[in-house]
Amino acid sequence: MNLILLDEGDLAPDGTARLGGRRAGHVREVLRARPGDRLAVGRLGGDLGEGEVIACGPGEVLLQVRLGTPPPPPSPVELLLALPRPKILRRVLQSAAAMGVKRILLVGSYRVEKSYFASPLLAPAALEAQLRLGLEQGRDTRLPDVRVRRLFKPFVEDELDGLFPGPRRLLADPVAPAPLEALPREGASRALVAVGPEGGWTRHEADQLRARGFAPFTLGPRPLRVDAAVPYAVGQVELWLRAGR
């Protein structure tokens, strides 16, 4: 935990914050903080700052909080992901949030098990819990917007253009003929990257994405699991976008 993430209700009018549960345990047992120590803190959806430890008891930690530093800028990369299995999804959400990705669309695919959509992990509170872990890692305070669409075809045909009208569209495809650096940037400052399930998009799905402007690129000759492919792709695309400025 590189950041103590505070909710609005944690902050008292006098600028103090009382922590319990997981956060207090981390401060005591991992950070081994003592009164007078200063910790990185941030208000969910707001500024970053520091919290001075005033008291550190067995069940509660009291901080004097001072905020005023804006969170880091968001990543210029947005994600369109075939819904991975729950164990992998946890890692993907945490990694994406830590890297500053602010929009994630999870969609069904022919190779996505239908049972994944019944996972408790897709409940709003469960999604937020994983995203908060990513924010704590990346020292950020702004939660990503995560949406779930079960059916691939209706989403692509009816919603894709409305939800993602502006960014350059890229398709991570293991059989693409060219790497990312071979693609023209066309003055893009943002990108929407489509990453398929393990096993990849079907040819029909890939064709549908290409027909809607997704330019295919390869991440290299090695097959990657989704939890490795997503941060790898996000990092590559961010560098690609910066090189075109």
Mean pLDDT value across the chain? 94
Find the mean pLDDT for residues 201-219.
94
- Under a CB-based contact definition with an 8 Å cutoff, are residues 61 and 84 in contact? no
Distance CA 171, CA 235 (A): 15
DSSP conformation class of 27: I
Domain count for the chain: 2
Q: What is the mean pLDDT of residues 165-190?
A: 88
- Tokens representing 29 are 């047992």
DSSP-assigned letters across all residues of 63-132: EEEEEEEPPPPPPSEEEEEEPPPHHHHHHHHHHHHHTT--EEEEE--TTS-GGGGG-GGGSHHHHHHHHH
Continuous segment of H or E residues that includes residue 43: strand 38-43
Last residue of a domain, one of 17, 48, 69: 69
Last residue of a domain, one of 19, 50, 69: 69
Cβ(86)–Cβ(112) below 8 Å: no
Q: How many of the other CB atoms lie within 10 Å of CB of 161?
A: 11
Give the model's pLDDT for residue 37. Answer: 96
Q: Do 218 and 126 fall into the same domain?
A: yes
Distance CA(130)–CA(120), nearest Å, equals 12
More confident residue, 82 or 57: 82
Q: Are residues 43 and 92 in the same domain?
A: no
Which CATH number do you get for residue 168?
A: 3.40.1280.10
Instruction: Answer whether residue 244 shows pLDDT above 80.
Output: no
Helix (H, G, I), strand (E, B) or coil at 239: helix
> Which residue, 46, 48, 35, 61, is CA-closest to 3?
48
Q: Are strands 103-107 and 145-149 parallel, antiparallel or unpaired?
A: parallel
Q: Indicate whether 129 and 183 sit together in one domain.
A: yes
* Domain carrying residue 184: 77-243
Give the pTM.
0.93
Q: Looking at residue 135, what is its pLDDT?
A: 98
Q: Average pLDDT, stretch 63-71?
A: 97
Contact 49, 72 (CB under 8 A): no
Instruction: Output the pLDDT for position 175.
Output: 82
Q: For residue 60, name the pLDDT band (cuts at 50, 70, 90).
A: very high
How far is Cα 54 from Cα 64, in angstroms, rounded to an integer? Answer: 7
Same structural domain, 128 and 232: yes
Measure the CA–CA gap between 78 and 144, rounded to whole angstroms: 10
Percentage above 90 pLDDT, the chain: 86
Same domain, 199 and 215: yes
- Same domain flag for 13 and 124: no
Q: How confident is the model at residue 200 (pLDDT cuts 50, 70, 90)?
A: confident
User: Averaged over 136-147, what is the pLDDT?
Assistant: 97
In this predicted structure, the answer to whether residue 245 has a pLDDT above a threshold of 70 is no
Strands 77-82 and 191-195: parallel
- In the chain, % of residues over pLDDT 70: 99
